[in-house]
Structures are given as C-alpha cells and as structure tokens.
C-alpha cells in the first residue's frame, strides 16, 4: 500500500495486522506496537476564562435553544460513545441497577484493538504468571518520567485483573475463547510483562460485540447515529444533568439523574487539537482508523462546561510495511543510505527515530534467509512458522501489486538505485553491518550481538518503514473515581470520563512494557466509571 493510498483510504486495525510487520509489531517489545512523542502544547484555557483564544475548540458555542430540542429521555446514567470503554460503562451502570442510556454518533459501535492487558488474570495464574500491581505501576510511571497521575496508573493496576476475569467469564457465556498471547520477544531496551489476552482472535469487534449484547441484556438502551452536541450544565455551575444530541433543529435531550460519562475516545482526526496538544501525531505517513469518528468531541464538550485537560498527550504510532517483525534482527537505513540506530528497540522508539530522519524515510533491509533470523527475536517454532507465513504473504502481495513499499533486487546496487539512496554509501553500510555481525559485536550502536544478521544471500529486500497514527492519548483531567475536574482540581458534579477521553495516564511515550495496556485501560476505566456513576446520587463527592 502506498502512502497516498494510506492517506486517502485510511487503514483498519484488521488490515494493519495483516501486514507483515504489524503481524509481529502488534505483539512484543522487540517487535512492539505503539509509538509516541513527548511533544505537546500548553493546555488551552477552559471556557469562560480571560486568556486569549487561539483554537476554535476553546470557544464554547451558544447553548442550544430549547425550541430546537424536540424530545427528551430520562435516565440515571447517560454514556456518550460506544467504544469498548463506553460499552463497558453502560453495561456496568445497567448491571448496578441504574437506568442507562448509551448514545453513539456512528451507526454501530467502534472497536479499536484486539490486545487486552491484565496482570494476574485467571489465565495468567494457570500459566504460572503472577505480577505485583505495585511493581507494574512503578515501572509504568517510571517509563512516563513521572509526568502522570500515579494514582490513576495504580487504579488500573489494582483493578484490571479482576475485571479481566469478569470478561473471561462473560466470554464463556457467549462461547468466545480467550487466548493469552505468549509475547516472548526479548529486548535489551527494557523488560516486558506477558500481559496480552485476545478474545476469539485478533479481531477488535469480538469483545465490543460481546459487551454490546450484554449491555442490552442488562437493560441498557442504545441509540446509534446520535451525535452528542453539548453537555447540560447551566452557567457552568453545579451539576452536569444531561447531554443534548442529534441533528440541528431536531435535538434530543438525554437527562441524567446521576451522571453523564464521556467515553468518546481520542482526537486523532481533529487536526486543530493535534496541533494544539500533540503535534508529533501529524508527523506520520497516514492515519489508520476509518471512519474518522475520533474527533475529540468529549474533550471539547468537557472544556465547554469548565473541565480541564491534562497537560500530557501522547500519539500512538505503529509501523506498517512488509518487513519481518519491524526489523529488530535486521538493518535499517535512511535516505542517505546510512544506518542510524540500534534496531533492537520497540516500535515507539523506532517511530520516534524515524520522525527525526531526513525526509522521514527509512527502510528495513534483509535478504532471502530472513526466516532463519526470526528465532533471534525470541520466537518459538510455531510463532516463527505463523509469522513467517504472514510476512511472506504480505511480501508476495506487495510485490505482485508493484507496491513501492517493498523493493526486491538481485544486487545491492540495483536495490540502492530503486530506493533512491547513494549506492556506494548504501553498499558500505551493508558491508559494515555484515562485518559487525561476523565479529559478533556492534561497535557502532551497541546492539545485542544475538540480534545481528547477515545480508549476503540474494534476492535482497528493502521494506519502507511507514509510520501511521492510531490514536492520541490525552484527555480530560479526572480523579480516581473518574470524575472530571476543573482547572482548580475541583470535581464537576455529575460528569465522568473514561478511556481515551480521560487524561493523566500516559506521558512521554506509549509504554510497551505492558502490551495491550491502552485497550485494557479503556474497559477498566469504563467499568469503574459506570459503577461509580450508578452509585452517584447527586452528592458530587
């Protein structure tokens, strides 16, 4: 797939995982997924302050006229957004006895990931895996440079496994098999916990569909094609009492006796918000998710009623291409034909360094014996077979289509010319890499010698390392009850946020030491927000 095609069509999670690199990058630290950047802008002021306006979303629109609201519905809890976080919130609130309404602007639920992290699930314990929540939280906070709310990280760590066990039992009810992915890819970069669980397969719709069915079974009412427009909080004082949604001139007001939960996801398809909060998210070759519904609606509505945005924002960036395992045992070069880093790093680090290369272009270089090098990435025999087949299929498809993302050549001279890099510099780079491999010591970048590999058996391959945005991680400031806070860290009564609509959990980089964490944070906070909102009788505490 060319860059132009990526940008024009978008790429689904399932299509992403069919790619060779992503078939592996979706898994372990040595071939890990998400990438991120510490770049960010200052948090825009909340609505009603005297600070100068820079972005359009800082300006709260006029309240929707009562005459434009044609009907109303009453509930105890209203949830905005039908991703896994919102679906889990609606299920949990309904399960707790609250009359619950879930609204979603799309025609169906949205699902964004198949990997789900836990620390001590019943499946992990059956395999002899047992991690200490405090230790995992400590390692995460350290990877964030302590620029997060440690209490939120610990909230996740303490609750994720009991909630995973709940989901495992629910999956059994719906005859869905839960698999634990044995992510066993080592890296000298940092350790990795074996946390990944998959529901049925690497299919993001399986869990979401299960949650939707169970939420309805518990009594939740779901309105699809119902876009939220404004939260109801008169004069931005007192409680949030509902949300107005629908089309202009034909709005519905959904009243919430207890609370509203904002579970609208990220703002990866809102260029203005990216510019304001997460500019590194724009420095990519494409945007994965389609349809582009993740436009920061919850962040905007929260701001308009006085909510604060947490100052830390992180883009989740993946590699896409026909390189086996994103190239950890293999060589990577830039447009100068030069090697530029130790390749034995997770995908976040790989993406970060690519963003700094000339023209943001790099390739992974390997030869016809690449399958023999896959065990160097710590893969078991079965995984080598599975992933090499996936890689080969992606390579064959790319070559058949004449995809410029993969170049196959019988000589290094021909490959360099087709890549558009200096021939002699490229050949010298390959010769140097081979010499270091033969020596068994990476004197240039300190790469684990077990991860070095020869490039000497034609045909040769150059896979373009396209980096694509999945989501942005940054949102409304919340406390450990998932209640939204204002600029003074005061609770806004009746308003909760979960999943990627809530901030404070990620900073600096997306940590792949706990694979599947982003997705599990979504349904963990969704469940807790749903339970808390159901119990919220108006005290605001």
Q: Distances in Å between the alpha carbon of 182 and those of 35, 195, 209, 523?
A: 21, 8, 25, 22
Helices and strands counted in the chain (H then E)? 16, 18
At residue 99, the pLDDT reads: 98
Whether residue 12 contacts residue 289, with contact meaning beta carbons closer than 8 Å, is answered with yes
Task: Tell me the pTM.
Answer: 0.87
| Token pair for 134 | 């405090």
275 confidence band (pLDDT: 50, 70, 90) = very high
Greatest Cα pair distance in the chain: 78
pLDDT-wise least confident of 33-42, 115-124, 449-458 = 33-42
Tell whether the model's pLDDT for residue 184 goes beyond 70: no
At residue 41, the pLDDT reads: 39
Mean predicted confidence (pLDDT) in 424-437: 98
Percentages helix, strand, coil for the chain, rounded to the nearest 5?
40, 20, 40
Structure-model confidence comparison of residues 378 and 487, the more confident one: 487
Share of the chain above pLDDT 70, in %: 83
The per-residue DSSP string of 305-320 comes to TTBPBPS--EEEEEEE
CATH topology of domain 3-31+322-464: Flavocytochrome C3; Chain A, domain 1 (3.90.700)
At residue 393, the pLDDT reads: 72
52 confidence band (pLDDT: 50, 70, 90) = low
- Write down the H helix ranges in 310-463: 347-355, 370-373, 381-400, 412-419, 423-439
At residue 509, the pLDDT reads: 86
What is the rounded CA–CA span in Å between residue 70 and residue 539?
30
Q: What mean pLDDT is reported for the chain?
A: 86
At residue 3, the pLDDT reads: 35
Whether residue 215 contacts residue 91, with contact meaning beta carbons closer than 8 Å, is answered with yes
| Token pair for 94 | 């309904």
Integer Rg of the chain from CA? 24
The conformation of residue 42, written as its DSSP 8-state character, comes to P
- 313-333 pLDDT, tens digit per residue, is 999 998 876 666 556 789 999
At residue 25, the pLDDT reads: 30
- 469-496 pLDDT, tens digit per residue, is 999 999 999 999 999 999 999 999 999 9
What is the rounded CA–CA span in Å between residue 469 and residue 319?
9
Whose CA is closest to 309, among 42, 38, 37? 42
Class of domain 67-315+469-535: alpha beta
Dihedral over Cα of 263, 523, 513, 145: its sign = positive
**Three-state secondary structure call for residue 216:** helix
Mean predicted confidence (pLDDT) in 434-454: 94
- 55-106 pLDDT, tens digit per residue, is 999 999 999 999 999 999 999 999 999 999 999 999 999 999 999 999 999 9
At residue 181, the pLDDT reads: 80
Tell whether the model's pLDDT for residue 231 goes beyond 90: yes
- 117-138 pLDDT, tens digit per residue, is 999 999 999 999 999 999 999 9
531 confidence band (pLDDT: 50, 70, 90) = very high
| Token pair for 191 | 């350790």
- Domains of the chain, by residue range, sit at 3-31+322-464, 67-315+469-535
**Three-state secondary structure call for residue 54:** coil
Tell whether the model's pLDDT for residue 10 goes beyond 70: no
Mean predicted confidence (pLDDT) in 283-309: 94
């Amino acid at each position: 797939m060319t860059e132009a095609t990526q940008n024009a069509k978008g790429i689904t999670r399932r299509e992403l995982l069919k790619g060779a690199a992503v078939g592996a990058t979706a898994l372990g630290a040595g071939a890990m997924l998400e990438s991120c950047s510490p770049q960010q802008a200052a948090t825009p002021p909340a609505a009603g302050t005297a600070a100068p306006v820079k972005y359009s979303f800082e300006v709260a629109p006029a309240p929707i006229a009562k005459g434009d609201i044609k009907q109303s519905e009453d509930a105890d809890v209203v949830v905005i957004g039908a991703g896994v976080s919102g679906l889990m919130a609606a299920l949990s609130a309904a399960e707790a006895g609250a009359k619950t309404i879930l609204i979603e602007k799309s025609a169906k639920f949205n699902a964004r990931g198949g990997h789900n992290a836990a620390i001590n699930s019943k499946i992990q314990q059956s395999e002899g895996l047992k991690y200490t929540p405090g230790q995992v939280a400590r390692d995460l906070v350290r990877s964030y440079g302590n620029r997060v709310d440690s209490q939120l990280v610990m909230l996740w760590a303490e609750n994720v496994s009991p909630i995973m066990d709940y989901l495992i039992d629910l999956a059994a009810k719906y005859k869905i098999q839960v698999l634990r992915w044995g992510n066993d890819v080592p890296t000298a970069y940092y350790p990795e916990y074996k946390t990944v669980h998959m529901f049925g397969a690497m299919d993001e719709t399986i869990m979401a569909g299960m949650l939707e069915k169970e939420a309805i079974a518990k009594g939740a009412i779901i309105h699809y094609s119902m876009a939220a427009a404004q939260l109801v909080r008169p004069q931005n004082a007192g409680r949030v009492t509902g949300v107005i949604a629908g089309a202009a001139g034909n709005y519905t007001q959904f009243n919430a006796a207890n609370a509203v939960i904002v579970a609208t996801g990220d703002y990866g398809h809102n260029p203005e918000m990216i510019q304001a909060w997460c500019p590194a998210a724009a420095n990519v070759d494409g945007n994965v998710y389609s349809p582009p519904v993740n436009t920061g609606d919850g962040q905007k509505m929260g701001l308009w009623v006085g909510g604060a945005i947490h100052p830390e924002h992180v883009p989740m960036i993946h590699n896409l291409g026909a390189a086996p395992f994103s190239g950890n045992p293999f060589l990577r070069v830039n447009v100068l034909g030069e090697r530029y880093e130790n390749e034995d790093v997770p995908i976040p680090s790989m993406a970060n360094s690519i963003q700094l290369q000339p023209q943001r272009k790099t390739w992974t270089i390997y030869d016809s014996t690449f399958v023999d090098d896959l065990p160097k990435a710590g893969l078991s025999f079965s995984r080598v077979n599975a992933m090499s087949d996936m890689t080969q299929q992606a390579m064959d498809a790319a070559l058949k289509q004449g995809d410029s993302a993969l170049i196959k050549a019988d000589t290094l001279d021909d490959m360099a010319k087709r890549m558009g890099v200096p021939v002699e510099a490229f050949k010298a780079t390959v010769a140097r890499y081979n010499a270091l491999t033969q020596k068994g010591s990476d004197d240039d970048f300190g790469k684990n010698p077990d991860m070095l590999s020869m490039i000497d058996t034609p045909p040769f391959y150059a896979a373009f390392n396209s980096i694509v945005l999945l989501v942005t991680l940054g949102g409304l400031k919340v406390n450990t009850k998932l209640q939204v806070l204002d600029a003074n860290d005061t609770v806004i009564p009746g308003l909760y946020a979960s999943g990627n609509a809530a901030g404070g959990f990620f900073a600096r980089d997306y940590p792949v030491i706990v694979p599947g964490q982003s997705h599990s944070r979504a349904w963990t906070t969704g469940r807790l927000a749903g339970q808390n909102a159901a119990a919220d009788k108006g005290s605001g505490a």
